Structure 1
Amino acid sequence: MLLRSVSNPSCLVSSSLSQRRLLSGIPSVPLAYDKYIPLNGNETERPLVILHGFFGAKRNWQSLSKAFMRDLQRPVYALDLRNHGSSPHARPMTYLHMAADVLDFLHKFSLSNISLLGHSMGGKVAMSLALHPETPVDILTHLIVSDIAPIRAKPSQDTIQHFEGMEQIETGGITNRKDADKILEGYEKDPSVRAFLLTNLDVNSHCSPLRFKVPIDILKEGRPEIESFPWVPGERTFNGRTLFVKGTKSKFINRHNIPVIKEFFPGAIIGELDTGHWVHAERPDEFRKLVLDFMS
């Protein structure tokens, strides 16, 4: 097995018609990635490409990426989407811009017969790419969407509070993670969620005070788009093999969303696991088996 990490420096909302219809005119950014190659040396054929969620990064998928590579004997690529992880910071933060970034990555590395897996925001990026008329019809063989629906959602109060807490950390002269967690506790009571958000602290730059690696201003500005979706039911469909994985304790996919999912993805299979929103982190073995069974 080979592992390589490449880093590059760096309410309802509707997009404009020009944004919604074209990928070719959208400038893309080069995405940082981790690459997991099986012993047979295959780097391009039938890869699994993984897209993380909001405030996430490719590092969150290291263990599962290695396991998928081992079980599938196929290459696995875990990407950092724009404004996350080690990828460049760039405006605007829309699904079509992120889809253009991913499509450019697939073309750059000559990937074919791709299985595309996305969690939460990454799931919406994956769906946006699958549904887009400029995406080659034969490039995707499987689409796996983890705990998100293709809907235009209302603003999340939790996310608004998370931004407020992170801004307080950046402006508060904080020099250690413990104090940062104490500030964030005033905005988020769940320690696991706080720990997840604090993985974005830039602890290796020797900066004092601490700052976040992600651009809070760009992400906050793009939040309405992140909670939206480029299309409404009836505009586009993807007829390829599609799996939605729902956490039974999560509200991101609910009974009202199922008909919408079926309108966009007529052949979609919907699997459930006894988890909250972070399905792959809470039940990694069960999640892996569900995905492997679907792909086989």
Structure 2
Amino acid sequence: MRPSIPRLSRLIASTRPIAQIRVASLPLPCTSSLRPLKSTTLPPPSPASTQIRANHSHSYTTPPSSQIKDQVPVELSYDVVEPSKPSPEAEGQSLVICHGLFGSKQNWRSLAKAFAAQLGMPVYTLDLRNHGQSPHASPHNYAAMAADIHHFFQARNLTSGVNLLGHSMGGKAVMAVALNKELNGALRTLISVDMSPARGKISPEFASYTQAMIDIEKAKVRTKQEADKLLQSTEPMLPTRQFLLTNTRLSREGPEPHLVFRIPLQLLSESIPQIGDFPYKPPPPVTEASPEWQGPTLFIKGEHSKYINKHNIPVAEQFFPNMKLEVLDTGHWVHAEKPAETVELVKAFIQGA
């Protein structure tokens, strides 16, 4: 899951402005380098306002429900985009989006607006545990992430009609939800963007990323420009460095202000093997350890990415017998390189399910 994503703010430069924004209180085995961003732009929101509510999280420490077994969920931070013109056909439905490793809900902010406008349903973007504004908690594995997502459904009263989408690490997390019969009751459809349910070792570059970020913290640099210079020896690609540095914030603890990372670097570094893993083995036979989900499932593959390939497509078909596969001319960051096409594929799939 090489996080070489360009800034998504560039992708909506030509869209119409959002008329009103309300804020309420409250990537795995190796992949190819990022291809140049195409000139395509997002489908614009409707002329009327699309509303955005930001919700910030607090730790959840009460005992888990019996459905979640041994996993104690955390309260995930999220944003929700409400459609200005809800679609009667989408009544009772929602779209929930989960990002990849080192990402956050902000990576999907632009597409969430387009999805809400095109589908006419609320769109939730989540910060998974140990990312963004969500709590830091161990373990960082897919059973824990699935429990968190299920708890989010319960807390928001999303009991049915959920179209669940994940990219990269988030793709494995949403598949883990779908394959657990105690967690998948709310699901209507499942969408995995450039990730298969295969087990494998994560690329060594991710250990180097976390170590480089630890070194940046130790250096107590004050600006992203200084941090970027230190990161160049580990990662030559500017978009990748920019993506990693979206996780920084300015700390005023100590004698001088300096950059620190929002994410728990040591915990994520120790969790690299779990991020490459998957909690189930494929059927047959269908058992609790080798489950299947028969609901409508869409896999979107980046043509130049290796995450979905001829070796693991049969594995995906065993887990998800009612799946379809679409391919876009991209690398791993499908939604960043082809945002309009991604929106159209997801829209057609959800509306046709």
> What per-residue deviation string (whole Å, max 9, x for no partner) do you get for residues 90-113 of structure 1?
111111111101101101111121
Please tell me the residue identity of whatever aligns with 1:242. T
CA gap 1:295/1:248 in 2 versus in 1, 3 angstroms: same
Please tell me the residue identity of whatever aligns with 2:302. G
Say whether residues 1:223 and 2:277 are aligned partners: no
Q: Secondary structure at the match of 2:248?
A: coil
Distance in 2 (alpha carbons) for counterparts of 1:85 and 1:136: 25
Distance apart, 1:41 and its partner CA: 6.9
Q: 2:282 aligns to what?
A: 233
Say whether residues 1:73 and 2:120 are aligned partners: yes
> What per-residue deviation string (whole Å, max 9, x for no partner) do you get for residues 145-174 of structure 1?
001111111131121111121111111121
Q: 1:125 aligns to what?
A: 173
Q: 2:319 aligns to what?
A: 264
Q: 1:60 aligns to what?
A: 107
Query: CA contact under 8 A between 2:168 and 2:193: conserved in structure 1?
Result: yes
Distance apart, 1:40 and its partner CA: 5.2
Report matched runs for 1:11-30 at 5 Å. 23-30=68-75
Please tell me the residue identity of whatever aligns with 2:312. N
Please tell me the residue identity of whatever aligns with 2:337. E
Say whether residues 1:88 and 2:135 are aligned partners: yes
Please tell me the residue identity of whatever aligns with 1:229. F
TM-score (norm 2): 0.77
How many aligned positions are there? Answer: 284
Please tell me the residue identity of whatever aligns with 2:216. I
Distance apart, 1:23 and its partner CA: 2.3
Say whether residues 1:140 and 2:187 are aligned partners: yes
Distance in 2 (alpha carbons) for counterparts of 1:211 and 1:195: 15
Segments of structure 1 that go 5 or more residues without pairing to the other structure are: 11-20
Distance in 2 (alpha carbons) for counterparts of 1:290 and 1:206: 45
Distance in 2 (alpha carbons) for counterparts of 1:175 and 1:56: 22
Q: Secondary structure at the match of 1:92?
A: coil
Report the structure, 1 or 2, having the larger helix content.
1
Q: Secondary structure at the match of 1:210?
A: strand
Please tell me the residue identity of whatever aligns with 2:136. H
Kindly name which structure, 1 or 2, has the bigger radius of gyration based on alpha carbons: 2
> What per-residue deviation string (whole Å, max 9, x for no partner) do you get for residues 198-236 of structure 1?
100114x44522110111011112111111000111111
Q: 1:45 aligns to what?
A: 92
Q: 1:294 aligns to what?
A: 349
- State the Cα RMSD in Å: 1.8
Which of 198, 208, 212 is the matching residue for 2:245? 198
Give % identity: 44
TM-score (norm 1): 0.92
